[in-house]
Amino acid sequence: MKKHVLKTAIEVYASEKELSSEDQKLIKKAKQALKKSYSPYSNFKVGAAILLKNGKMMSGANQENASYPLCLCAERVTIAAADSVHPKVPILAMAITAKSASITIIKPVAPCGACRQVIFETEMKHDTPMRILLQGETGKVYVIAGGRDLLPLSFDGSLL
């Protein structure tokens, strides 16, 4: 038997005020995207914003459905919108935030497994890592170098 240890480095900032002005704008755009959330069942809003290599920013929010498996996460909504409008433009960074009707979210919220896979696949497609910025409603911001750090044992097309 051989043991492998997987490690992920995360930069932790006390608040968005410690980030570059561009990263602050991206977090702000993700927070504004919370207004686009359709979440009448969970009352858990998620907003995402991306920075494209061409300098444009886009945002999206989660879209729920009474049939829960049909729900769309903010991360996948935003990536799909970007790939539809700018199919050949890499995504350099994505900010993700969340808001709950029942509690104040004071810690960063990470993407679900499906979104991690889509983030990773998007990086592979464009051959460009995507920095991930995570923040709750307030508090610390986690900055992760790329999707591979979110999904270290990733599944890719080389296995098909």
Cα angle 3-117-48, degrees, rounded to a multiple of 5: 125
In a domain, 158, yes or no: no
In a domain, 119, yes or no: yes
Residues labelled catalytic: 75
In a domain, 66, yes or no: yes
In a domain, 5, yes or no: no
Query: What integer best gives the mean pLDDT of the chain?
Result: 95
In a domain, 83, yes or no: yes
Alpha-helical runs (H) found in 34-143: 74-85, 113-126
CA–CA separation, 31 and 91 (whole Å): 19
Which residue range forms the structural domain that includes residue 116? 10-150
State residue 76's pLDDT score.
Answer: 98
Please tell me the total count of domains within the chain. 1
pLDDT, tens digit, for every residue of 57-110?
Answer: 999 999 999 998 899 999 999 999 999 999 999 999 999 999 999 999 999 999
CA–CA separation, 142 and 135 (whole Å): 7
Q: Is residue 15 scored above 90 in pLDDT? A: yes
Retrieve residue 152's tokens. 């270290």
Q: What is the CATH number of the domain that holds 17?
A: 3.40.140.10
Whole-model pTM?
A: 0.94
In a domain, 160, yes or no: no
In a domain, 73, yes or no: yes
